[in-house]
Amino acid sequence: MDRNEIISGIQKYESERRFRHTCSMTDMAVSLAGCYGIDADLVWRTAMLHDVARDLSADEMKSIAEQYGHRMSEFSLRYPRNMHAEIGAVIAEYRFGLKDLNALNAIRYHVSARPGMSVLEKIIFFSDFAEPSRPNHAAMQYLYRIARTDLDQAILRALRVRLDYQVSHQVPGDVCELCCAAFDFLLEESLSKTAAGKNAAYPGAEMLTEAETDKALAVILRNGLPLKSVRNIRCFGGFQGDGGRHVRPGTILRSGDLSGLTKEDADRLKDGAGLSLVIDLRTPDEAGRKPDVPIPGVRYENIPLTQTPRTAETDPPAGGPEERKPGYADRYARIEEARRMYHSISADRRSREAVRRVFRLILDEKGTVLFHSAGGTDRAGIIAALFLYALGCTQEDILCDYNASAVASLAGALQSDLLKSGDGPDPRADLEILSGVVPEVVAAGFYYIETAYASEQDMLAEAIGFDREQLCALRDKYLI
């Protein structure tokens, strides 16, 4: 069929709304085809036909399967959302003359993905996932920018979201297996490729691109504190804020909990860093189970940012990929949880008040302030993002600081000069991922800020409760 015949045929199957999605998704797929040097015409035909069965009823799809002698898979019978993909491939082959096996597989697996996908399959899967009309547009655009240079990394993140949907909607575990298998295959393929490269990504940092990881590591090298008993601890020095000024180093810190704090590190914080206030963002139950070690002369405030603990922070993954894989649903499927946490600062009255209390303390405290959650990722990340935003820092810098939690140091790694000299074994092998770090959620948060408020000042007044005078005072205090 020529293109006009395909378009005319598809319009008989799809609603007007569905057809708009199809056309938009096809535009994205064709643009990605150009990035990866594959047949743009084949990509166009595959993309246009990917949802051809989406508006058919289950009975209609079963009838089509019977007509062409196609035996419906157990996967589609158990998970009806996938049925249109499977029958779409049947329609594409027998009614539209699409014979290319990669193209048919791309249609059949565009919902679930599968291990060993071809480049065409990956493009169709990702383009359907990130098509501009999808919810969380900013996060999808963030992933699309990644996909133009690193399709596998973008799909890993997309699969994480897809699995999160399946877990949060209590899809039976055996139905999730194909999607999990696709994730595991792509993860191991990605790690095997980077392990052989000169500038290999850090083992476990598979949720960040190499460029993101390198920028995050630079933040850790610049701002990390050489404490052995506190994880993910750093300041905000060097980020550029309002009026070309830069954040004053060492005057405010973020970290994981202080439950393992040694006397040596306590002295460094108190006497070396001038610490005078610790703000614990955990719930009282969390703080009770793993209480902070008190530092004489330092004041403590427990201000729960949310009413429930952040699971990925309280139980971060350990070890290599083989150790993480069995707990996939618990370790990686965190997108919706993280999104709810970020939106709570505007939607939940108690969370809003907690954020405002934290910022009043930050503004009023004379000495150095340290705020922390359990792992120092999401709850500490919210306060850190708002703090840098209030100081006028760029979104890129805020994301770099957020991503730094994904390459937080293990014991002693930051103290090594090998990172700077390049001699000897690469100590980056000692860096681990904290799976709660989801940069596209932060990107979506920025989009929410930009669209929900008339101005930056309105947003800051709502989120942290500061008027213009207080905002200027905060900037004068922390910018030089």
pLDDT computed for residue 194 by the predictor: 55
Q: Using CA atoms, how far apart are residues 29 and 130, in angstroms rounded to an integer?
A: 10
Report the distance separating Cα 420 and Cα 424, nearest Å.
Answer: 11
Q: Give backbone dihedrals phi and psi of 362, rounded to 5 degrees, phi first.
A: -60, -40
The reported pLDDT for the residue numbered 420 is 42
Residue after which a domain boundary falls, among 195, 229, 259? 195
User: Domain boundary at 195, 228, 263, which?
Assistant: 195
Helix, strand, or coil here: 133? coil
Residue 254 has pLDDT above 60, yes or no: yes
In a domain? residue 465 = yes
For residue 269, the 8-state DSSP code is I
Residue with tokens 């392990």: 195
Answer yes or no: is pLDDT of 342 > 80.
no
* Residue 122 lies in domain: 3-195
Instruction: Give CA–CA dist 143/148, Å, rounded.
Output: 9
Which position has the higher pLDDT, 409 or 479?
479
Does 215 lie in the same domain as 187? no
At 335, which CATH number?
Answer: 3.90.190.10
Q: Region 129-149: what's the mean pLDDT?
A: 84
Whole-number Å distance between alpha carbons of 29 and 22: 10
The most confident of the ranges 340-349, 350-359, 441-450 is 350-359
Most confident of 70-79, 147-156, 261-270: 261-270
Q: Using one digit for the tens of pLDDT, what is the confidence trace for 298-325?
A: 999 999 988 765 544 444 444 333 333 3
Cα end-to-end span (Å), the chain: 66
Per-residue pLDDT, 54:
96
pLDDT attached to residue 256: 92
b/e per residue, 192-210, with b = 16+ CB within 10 A?
Answer: eebeeeeebbbbbbbbbbb
Please enumerate, as own/partner, the contacts of 324-328 that have beta carbons within 8 Å and a separation of 24 or more.
324/204, 324/435, 325/184, 328/163, 328/180, 328/183, 328/184
**pLDDT at residue 109 tops 80:** yes
Which residues are registered as beta bridge partners of 370?
Answer: 253, 278
Q: Is residue 191 part of a domain?
A: yes
Same domain, 83 and 139: yes
In a domain, 274, yes or no: yes
Rounded Cα gap, residues 305 and 385, in angstroms: 14
Residues 290 and 334 placed together within one structural domain of the fold? yes
Q: How far apart are CA 378 and CA 402, in angstroms?
A: 9
Percent of the chain predicted with pLDDT > 70: 76
Is residue 201 situated within a structural domain? no
- Adjacent-strand bridge partners of 182: none
94 in any annotated domain:
yes
Model pLDDT for residues 47-98, shown as the tens digit of each residue = 999 999 999 999 999 999 999 999 999 888 888 889 999 999 999 999 999 9
- 3-class secondary structure, 356: helix
Report the chain's mean pLDDT, rounded to a whole number.
82
| Residue 335 Cα to chain centre, angstroms | 7
DSSP letters of 409-474? --TTGGG-THHHH--SS-GGGG----TT--HHHHHHHHHHHHHH-SSHHHHHHHHT---HHHHHHH
Which of 195, 224, 242 corresponds to the end of one domain?
Answer: 195
Cβ–Cβ < 8 Å for 135, 335: no
Does pLDDT of 30 surpass 50? Answer: yes
Q: How confident is the model at residue 390 (pLDDT cuts 50, 70, 90)?
A: very high
Give the confidence band of 433 by pLDDT, cuts at 50, 70, 90.
very low
Q: How much is the pLDDT for 411?
A: 32
Q: Is the pLDDT of residue 110 over 70?
A: yes
Is 22 in the same domain as 133? yes
200 in any annotated domain: no
185 and 228 together in one domain: no
> Is 424 exposed, middle or buried (CB count within 10 Å of its CB: 0-12, 13-18, 19+)?
exposed
Same domain, 189 and 226: no
339 and 472 in a single domain? The answer is: yes
Q: Which of 127-136, 327-336, 430-439, 445-454 has the lowest mean pLDDT?
A: 430-439
Q: Which of 371, 89, 360 is nearest to 234 (CA)?
A: 371
On the CB side of 303, CA atoms within 13 Å amount to 25
Q: Are 221 and 414 in contact (CB under 8 A)?
A: yes
CA distance 248 to 259: 27
In a shared domain, residues 222 and 264: yes
pLDDT surpassing 50 at residue 375: yes
Helices within 39-100 (DSSP H only): 40-49, 58-67, 74-78, 83-94
If one compares 361 and 334, the residue with the highest pLDDT of the two is 361
- Asked, for residue 202, whether it belongs to a domain, the answer is no
Go through 263-291 and write b for each residue having 16 or more CB atoms within 10 A of its CB, e for each that does not. eebbebbbeebebbbbbbbbbeebbeeee
In a domain, 203, yes or no: no
In what order do the strands lie in the sheet containing 299-302? 252-255, 368-372, 275-280, 299-302
Assigned token pair, 147: 């996909």
Q: Are residues 185 and 224 in the same domain?
A: no
pLDDT of 335 strictly over 90:
no
Do 347 and 296 fall within a single domain? Answer: yes
CATH code, domain with 44: 1.10.3210.10
pLDDT at 347: 65
Looking at the structure, tell me whether residues 15 and 73 fall in a common domain.
yes
Number of domains making up the chain: 2
Asked if 165 and 269 sit in the same domain, the reply is no
